[in-house]
Structure 1
């Protein structure tokens, strides 16, 4: 009996040894579904798997500021990073203030692959709320973004510049994750929210299907003010428009000027150069498939790959861009 068990165990060992080695799994984090930041990470992972045989598993619903520092610390391999967040990390400021020098040190390990338009902040309220302008948000409950996120800092700065209203003093700034914020809006627990997503997003459309909505725009004549010029000095910030009739239930009869934002697909400097080269090559050589995967990604083009990019390129990505003839700005070339 003992001999039979020993023989069986030996055979099982041989069978296990004959199996192919398990392929390495890489980790990526991104925001909740519904926006370009999520769609971009999904597209990167799908192309990497389909065209380069590289397995990237995505953990979504995450705060981008948290994913960025985890990426820089080497705890994950890929993330989507707002350019302003990288600035804060390199200086140990804002959401990284408590980390101080640890954040500054970690930032040295963050590298980029490409930049893309992430979307627009949709300042929205229900049409019957009595709120018709951003100034009307005084004394109201306003979702500005996740806690300790770049979005809430951005939104609250715009509200201060546009109206003079201060978060926590003149209005109640509600900080939840994006999914919870949308649900709170749909449940009638908020007076207004700034939904950060691509123009034409299904998340906003979902709200407009059940209630008429109004977008609260910025006064275009104020965009030339020194305060807004200073606001735009932070990398990744921009302004754009939500056209009339973009969403079901939208009552705005004209386009609305809103803050927009650029995002960066990022990785870590110590990730294998050939791996990042292969992912970058596969992504750009299959850009049509990327565009087909989501209408939110049609703004990704070779011409805008380095717009607002302030994180140095990974050596693997840079190698591909040189080979493919991209005009790479000197400021983001690897050292």
Structure 2
């Protein structure tokens, strides 16, 4: 297991054969394919990642528009978070020169937010993200909503973004739903992986789905949801055996 900066880094390392299996967001997969990086295949859709924008509860920042002129962690370089942050800010008419961005991992960003060194942090991850919950237990926080015209711009412009809601009570002190966008994550393998290995990986994933239910809820019925690249032949074999209808072209 290798720790990376995120989706874009995972795709690059997969292309370079430095890693064999990776998780990436569908928006980053789409961008990689358009840039000519397509030496990978899908095993399964995984879960929805939520774009979560966190500020201190005592902050004067009430909306995404209020981030103008502020210092904001937009995630690490080569991460899906950085891509999501850029697109969300653009939808609100905020270009890079209208705020100070910092490329920080989530742990460092949370510490910086707690210490008042930054004004907000972007996190794209499954809800109940541990670093956010830990921060919420140390000091009151709030979430900025992605809504209205900006939400429409994002969901209309990009097929892989959907309107999403972080339910009230997801985090300590969060007493209201939060509107945002969600993006699917997908489990990928390099095309050099054998059919047997890909079949076994996919089979093991779903045979042990109940063991992963808390950290990564999986549904065989939604296993192909949001996938825009071809399935590996080994994964396709497993789904055919499981009676899952595979769309043409996948």
- Structures share fold, TM-score greater than 0.5: yes
* Match for residue 166 of structure 1 among 83, 90, 95: 95
Report the counterpart of residue 185 of structure 2 in structure 1: 263
Select 2:8's aligned residue among 44, 52, 65: 65
Provide the C-alpha distance between the structure 2 equivalents of 1:186 and 1:128, rounded to a whole number of angstroms: 11
Give the drift of 1:224.
7.2
Instruction: Report SS of the residue matched to 1:145.
Output: coil
Give me the TM-score of the superposition, normalised by structure 1. 0.70
Distance 1:296 1:192, change over 3 A: same
- 1:228 maps to 154
Tell me the TM-score normalized by structure 2: 0.92
Cross-structure match for 2:74 = 144
Deviations along 1:62-111, whole A, 9 cap, x unmatched?
Answer: 3321121211232211011222222222232xxxxxxxxxxx2xx33201
Aligned residue in 2 for 1:12: none
Q: Is 1:191 paired with 2:109? A: no
Which residue of 1 is the match for residue 41 of structure 2?
A: 111
Tell me by how many angstroms 1:61 deviates: 4.4
Q: Is 2:143 the partner of 1:208?
A: no
CA offsets 1:208-264 (integer angstroms, 9 cap, x no match): 111111111123x43674x2343332x3x22211222321133xx431101212111
Give the 3 Å change call, closer, same or farther, for CA 166–108 of structure 1 in structure 2.
Answer: closer
Q: Distance in 2 between matches of 1:264 and 1:224?
A: 23
Tell which structure's C-alpha radius of gyration is larger: 1
Give the distance between the partners of 2:123 and 2:56, measured in 1 at CA. Answer: 13
Kindly tell me: are residues 331 and 180 of structure 1, through their superposed partners in 2, closer, same or farther at Cα, counting changes over 3 Å?
farther
Q: Would the aligned equivalents of 2:72 and 2:101 in 1 still touch at CA under 8 Å?
A: yes
Distance 2:65 2:150 in 1: 16
Cα distance in 2 for partners of 1:214, 1:262 equals 24
The 5 A counterparts of 1:307-326 are: 307-326=225-244
1:84 aligns with 27
8 Å Cα contact 1:143-1:175 kept in structure 2: yes
Runs of 4+ residues over 4 Å off in structure 1: none
Aligned ranges 1:8-87 → 2 under 5 Å: 58-87=1-30
2:106 aligned residue: 178
Count matched residues.
250
> Retained in 1: the 8 A contact 2:87–2:154?
no
Q: CA 1:329–1:183 in 2, change beyond 3 Å: closer, same or farther?
A: farther
In 2, Cα distance between equivalents of 1:283 and 1:111? 16
- Gap regions ≥5 residues in structure 2: none
Highest relative contact order (Cα 8 Å, sep 6+), 1 or 2? 2
SS where residue 112 of structure 1 aligns? strand
**How do residues 121-140 of structure 1 correspond to structure 2 at under 5 angstroms?**
121-140=51-70
The verdict on how the C-alpha distance between 1:231 and 1:296 changes in structure 2, with shifts beyond 3 A counting, is farther
Cα deviations across residues 149-202 of structure 1 (Å, max 9, x unaligned)?
Answer: 3321222211221x31112x2111211233332332233211011122221222
